[in-house]
Structure 1
């Protein structure tokens, strides 16, 4: 065999080592009048490239030509190999019958080593089609021969495939063993695309084992490797979307899946991948509370899978379609039968999704009042509560809770909910990023709601309080994992600040900012990805909330704590104080949210001079809000301090505007438990107050020079010294910090909410790098208390980033404020602190000291004290 022959034969392994180089060289071979054998190889290489990374129609043309040339070359081995490659392409094109027929001919034509490779390819196709037993049998036969032939590359591929099939069947340990063996083999080769695929597969295994941070890290690494090779990554897109959904990031998963579908359509890519992406998009839309989109995507996926004869996949798509229809408000006996049939088929496939389908059938039956049918289906779903990954066990406990509710056993409901939430607690604490911890709680929302409803039905306010606390603001029970001293992360954050500062300056000068915004978004994505990779390293607060310690603390000051719970759309007021917990019913959540938004709009107008005529409207709205949120409880608040614990949906309420709270010592807390923890936080024994003045304020932060004279020996950072590294250094462990800087709330990405410093934005991610945030912190600018409601009942933003890190109390604004009117409020506030008052006490007195005009009154109402200090 000549050197030229060797060069052509090297093209096939090269297509997964350096795909684009292999494509170019194959095209060069075809331009040299090659022999039928060499031309067959070149066409096969081009066909593989187009099949996996390009246009499937072009792929089929080249692979059929490769098959015909192999026959002309009178090489049965060559023909068998091409038939295997063609069979994969035909199946991906949705021509399943033709593809399987090509495999039959390929297996018959091949012998020994070649036949083993064709068997591997057929095993891959069986996996694509969802025929897992057949896939395992073919890959078993292939591995035995490939190992005997000492074919490292194809053995590693076969092990990776077998591991992937094991994962589809829920056999995580078997999959992990095969992935580990395959990885050892890949390290001895130069197959860069296969190596990237191995990293991607390990990410999938970590996900199936419940390790979301590791899964995201590995999938991002795989994406980087694919990027260097310049190849599309549709399978990676699907897997990443699965992980994002499990992490509570369903809207992102939907956007990524739809974007991948657009790219795939643009290049004429694989029909099989399109169906899988549609199924992924349907799942994401359902989890993102968009049932109509879920129905549309799932219905299209069902049609494609059926046409491709992919029963396993079609059945999974039918599960999503049935669930989306139920979520959209449809309930019927036919829907119960569809869900039950799907559950039966999934169980026959050995799919881990079978319990989910049984739970769905039980839910629909309960909605129709078919208790016997519901019990049968829920009993099947409940079996998964004892073993398997966390989300499967949570599904089982949800089914068990519904069984007990149907049977009228409140105790059984509460026990099932407790066990299910314990599973989710353990899973949540493996996540290092506060965003993931917060969003993961959505998985427990139904369990928490079932428990609250059981407590309400039992007429036990104390128990309702316990369950209201059980899944409220849990992200604050432990600080997020501190980002490591990662040079790449620190470099990205420095670059992000520089770009953001340049973009702000360009906007102010009226210059184009599109390129700067694009780079800022890229850096945000990098920073966020690195933080999502962090694994939890701290246990949550192991103490379960009990009303006794709370009531004892309140008794010390004759105080009251008002916790608002929302059940079936109505606000229930849990009034804690005088040694007891009482329940009052108030208005609807929807009406309260609307009224709170109207107040926000009115306060925005009052932040500018000349809007005095709107003050009576705002005050009237405050009275209406009090009826909606407190009802009769407003008459039982006593004369002492009040702590308000609202649900996430009501975090923007201006509580100081409510008549019964207006002249009180008032503080707000994300949960009763976090308020108790703040009360127990010890102030630092030493340290100096820190005063920071950022750029661009209308008054220039006029209160800061006054406060620097008020606090002798304070650390003052202004002008160029008010840069992020210097500010963070001063804030760490400070007894008191006052930051006068523009605040920006990012509803799209709350952990990029920021305070503007001299060198760019100080973001939430920066605060999370502190060993201990200031004991007390005052943020004197607009919107610094705005938060994003995520997960079950979690809040993300500047304030909630500080509370788990050692801050006992924060004063911040939940609405736009007038910079000039803020100055006297802040000076009065600090005067009260110097006199030994708490933040809430000092803020009450500072409001009372303001002039009585609309501008100053609105400014006072906009600020709230959070925590307890």
Structure 2
């Protein structure tokens, strides 16, 4: 009962002890309390009850009872870090028990061997236990033993064997009422899905297991550890770090298992390193190493040492001692049969290369490169990264590019199994090193065209295919509706000055639920194969010049594409450009308010400095025609119309040259009309909308109660032109919840992703609608990028706060140009020129950008 209904079992055990029962029955009751405290409470209390249970079993003169208790006590002692005492208890338990009881003790010892990282010993014990348990028709313990054996197989990388055992165990669990064990089985299937490379399924199963544990009221530390692993693989390292640290705090507060604390510290260290915080990673990993060593858990200690070395290298350390340490870790991991061994060999080779030790580097990298042909995707990528570094050390640019191509192909295949655009974008971080190696090799061994091809190979890849739409998920739609209602109530309370903590808590809960369901979606759409053709681009450009900004070793590389050729120029440092762009944003925020005219010269001067950093000598070679700018993700907030050489031009922005090509070749929908939306709460009331409506007699105008999200989405689907005047909110903490305010609450990115086809052209006339989050290797998440893969060829939006009153004449002039047959970029250029020449209107014009090619 302690695993079927834990809290009820605890209460019943206390009742038994209160009745003055026999030593035999008291031994069982103390054992139950000990198990409950061991797994769900204070380990010190658990040890007290289990020792009492052992002594009472001896008083009852029951060798079988004593053997059973010794098995439970052995597990608790190992979890408390007293490994030697725990193994001694198992030896006594195996000696005291017989038959069925001994098999249960062997199962528990197999579990402990797994905890300690002694996988071969674990398999031996569980191999001997399973036939006896089956013969005794002990369904529950047979299922536990099969689950454990599957988990050990996973630790050794034997995914198919694990699947077979998990399937057999699950069939047995369905015949029992063991609710905690059933939850554990779901959790284990989540781990198996992850090991086979199915991240969405892993997240779904782990969330389901958490719901089951919550109904039982039991802690979930092992699940926390496993979910951290999956989150890291999904590119969500900061979330993994937060989860691990929160679980450690709970564990410390209840006096829980020190073995689990060490594992959580290891997860936190890995997450901190991946999140770019090497000093936190060093601190967590060092404590984990000490704990694992004290617990005699060599397998785990070695993994913690690997993370510690990785974190030290990330913090800038590089020495022969680190090469030796990484090589020793690699050798030990290989002796364990651990899948992480190639990662350690790659680390040793990378450090050796940095020191110029080419012979040592080749030896270690050759070992790591063996993993490139088999195993899960991330393991194969490790192998291809090692192969690329080998080729670079040998001076073979062709070898580098081939290895990078093969490695990125592996990652592309993996990314397309992810249905959520957020996961696809974040997963690209795992290919950043390969992309950088390829770009360096392109510069060293090829011309500007090759650098352009490789810049495109890893730029805005999330836009290569639409996100996967769930078939018909009532729970997701219900969650979106509930989120919208709560968000609207919170916004209304905020305006009225009423306290809203309860509403905010519920809103965050609903956000987590919606996001969780979205991340569970498995990908079903192929990518575009990344067959980027420079000749096709140049032919399509005609008299337009495309300026692609690549970043190599922190410096901007300017690729001018047009007039039949690609030329390369060198700009300034990316870090300096980012700082200058923030200064410009601050200036535009000030200029959005009357009375800040004195800031105009400062903003214009910052624009000149930005041009020097971003375009350098290329600015003098732009010629007279239209310009398309393709910036790196980290420069998405630059107001390009502010740069002197672009100020009077027709200029548009695209996340990649490939995206521009797709937009250029996108046909307007047949029969698509115009949709004009006016949201609530605007200072001008969306004053441009009635006047714009006069230009489009057939337009559908949605305002007041008609401007509700379901109706707005229906009308937007397949429209030729949409104009939305509504408050925009950018969510840096969760970009997929960036929104436009409608009558019934926020219209968020997740809503847009449910469109069959987004409007061919869309104009967003409010603040911050073009703000995007830079994630992964070079990806963007936000409102604009949600629209581009869904059929939108052009967007006009603002990357800064704007003055609502000054927006009205800009929008009217923009639609006048569209009515005359101009493109969005042409109409926006003319609309800026038509505005009054004061600072307020100039800043408003600069804040808006045309994206795409329509």
State the TM-score, normalizing by the size of structure 1.
0.98
| Structure 1 counterpart of 2:158, from 158, 167, 171 | 171
Deviations 1:484-531 (A, max 9, x none): 321211111111111111111111111111111111000000000000
Question: What corresponds to 1:84 in structure 2?
Answer: 71
Does residue 136 (structure 1) correspond to residue 123 (structure 2)? The answer is: yes
Question: What corresponds to 1:477 in structure 2?
Answer: 464
Does residue 808 (structure 1) correspond to residue 818 (structure 2)? The answer is: no
Deviations 1:761-791 (A, max 9, x none): 0000000111110010000000000000000
1:150 CA displacement: 1.1
**Moved runs in structure 1, 4+ residues, more than 6 A?**
none
| Structure 2 counterpart of 1:579, from 523, 543, 564 | 564
Does residue 335 (structure 1) correspond to residue 330 (structure 2)? The answer is: no
CA distance in 1 between counterparts of 2:396 and 2:790 reads: 41
Question: What corresponds to 1:600 in structure 2?
Answer: 585
Question: What corresponds to 2:353 in structure 1?
Answer: 366
CA distance in 2 between counterparts of 1:508 and 1:808 reads: 37
1:782-861 equivalences in 2 (<5 Å): 782-861=767-846
Question: What corresponds to 1:39 in structure 2?
Answer: 26
1:639 CA displacement: 1.1
Q: Give aligned pairs, total.
A: 854
1:459 CA displacement: 4.3
CA distance in 1 between counterparts of 2:17 and 2:515 reads: 46
CA distance in 2 between counterparts of 1:419 and 1:525 reads: 36
Does residue 180 (structure 1) correspond to residue 167 (structure 2)? The answer is: yes
CA distance in 2 between counterparts of 1:766 and 1:23 reads: 47
Structure 1 regions of 5+ residues with no counterpart?
Answer: 1-13
1:71 CA displacement: 0.4
Question: What corresponds to 1:9 in structure 2?
Answer: none
| Structure 2 counterpart of 1:249, from 236, 245, 251 | 236
Does residue 656 (structure 1) correspond to residue 641 (structure 2)? The answer is: yes
Question: What corresponds to 1:304 in structure 2?
Answer: 291
Does residue 151 (structure 1) correspond to residue 109 (structure 2)? The answer is: no
Question: What corresponds to 1:735 in structure 2?
Answer: 720
Structure 1 368/788 Cα, relative in aligned 2: closer, same or farther at 3 Å?
same
CA distance in 2 between counterparts of 1:388 and 1:198 reads: 24
1:483 CA displacement: 2.7
Question: What corresponds to 2:340 in structure 1?
Answer: 353
Does residue 530 (structure 1) correspond to residue 517 (structure 2)? The answer is: yes
Question: What corresponds to 2:435 in structure 1?
Answer: 448
Deviations 1:769-825 (A, max 9, x none): 111100100000000000000000000000000000110100000000000000000
SS of aligned partner of 2:568: strand
SS of aligned partner of 1:80: helix
CA distance in 1 between counterparts of 2:307 and 2:296 reads: 18
Question: What corresponds to 1:549 in structure 2?
Answer: 536
Question: What corresponds to 1:263 in structure 2?
Answer: 250
CA distance in 2 between counterparts of 1:126 and 1:543 reads: 47
CA distance in 1 between counterparts of 2:100 and 2:49 reads: 24
Deviations 1:623-678 (A, max 9, x none): 11100000011111111110000001101111000011111111100000010001
Question: What corresponds to 2:13 in structure 1?
Answer: 26
Question: What corresponds to 1:7 in structure 2?
Answer: none
Question: What corresponds to 1:638 in structure 2?
Answer: 623
Does residue 690 (structure 1) correspond to residue 675 (structure 2)? The answer is: yes
1:246 CA displacement: 0.1
Does residue 866 (structure 1) correspond to residue 851 (structure 2)? The answer is: yes
Does residue 432 (structure 1) correspond to residue 419 (structure 2)? The answer is: yes
CA distance in 1 between counterparts of 2:184 and 2:665 reads: 50
Deviations 1:177-212 (A, max 9, x none): 100110000001100000000000000000000000
CA distance in 2 between counterparts of 1:430 and 1:244 reads: 15
SS of aligned partner of 1:660: helix
Structure 2 regions of 5+ residues with no counterpart?
Answer: none
State the TM-score, normalizing by the size of structure 2.
1.00
Question: What corresponds to 2:308 in structure 1?
Answer: 321
Does residue 409 (structure 1) correspond to residue 417 (structure 2)? The answer is: no
Structure 1 stretch displaced more, 706-715 or 426-435 = 706-715
CA distance in 2 between counterparts of 1:682 and 1:173 reads: 47
Structure 1 stretch displaced more, 749-758 or 498-507 = 498-507
Question: What corresponds to 2:227 in structure 1?
Answer: 240
Question: What corresponds to 1:8 in structure 2?
Answer: none
CA distance in 2 between counterparts of 1:462 and 1:768 reads: 34
Structure 1 stretch displaced more, 455-464 or 601-610 = 455-464
CA distance in 2 between counterparts of 1:764 and 1:322 reads: 40
| Structure 2 counterpart of 1:51, from 38, 49, 52 | 38
Does residue 764 (structure 1) correspond to residue 749 (structure 2)? The answer is: yes
SS of aligned partner of 2:646: coil
1:691 CA displacement: 0.3
| Structure 1 counterpart of 2:607, from 622, 625, 630 | 622
1:713 CA displacement: 1.6
SS of aligned partner of 1:265: helix
Deviations 1:741-777 (A, max 9, x none): 0000000000000000000000000001111100100
Cα contact 2:727–2:766 (8 A) shared by 1? yes
CA distance in 2 between counterparts of 1:648 and 1:792 reads: 9
1:543 CA displacement: 4.7
SS of aligned partner of 1:789: strand
Deviations 1:11-52 (A, max 9, x none): xxx111111110111111110001001000000000000000
Cα contact 2:457–2:530 (8 A) shared by 1? no
Deviations 1:235-274 (A, max 9, x none): 0000000000000000000000000000000000000000
CA distance in 2 between counterparts of 1:672 and 1:513 reads: 45
Question: What corresponds to 1:71 in structure 2?
Answer: 58
CA distance in 1 between counterparts of 2:376 and 2:673 reads: 49
1:542 CA displacement: 2.2
SS of aligned partner of 1:15: coil
Deviations 1:565-609 (A, max 9, x none): 111110000110111110000100010000000000000000000
CA distance in 1 between counterparts of 2:682 and 2:341 reads: 58
1:687 CA displacement: 2.5
CA distance in 1 between counterparts of 2:425 and 2:226 reads: 22
SS of aligned partner of 2:780: strand
Deviations 1:38-88 (A, max 9, x none): 000000000000000000000000000000000011100000000000000
SS of aligned partner of 1:42: helix
1:738-753 equivalences in 2 (<5 Å): 738-753=723-738
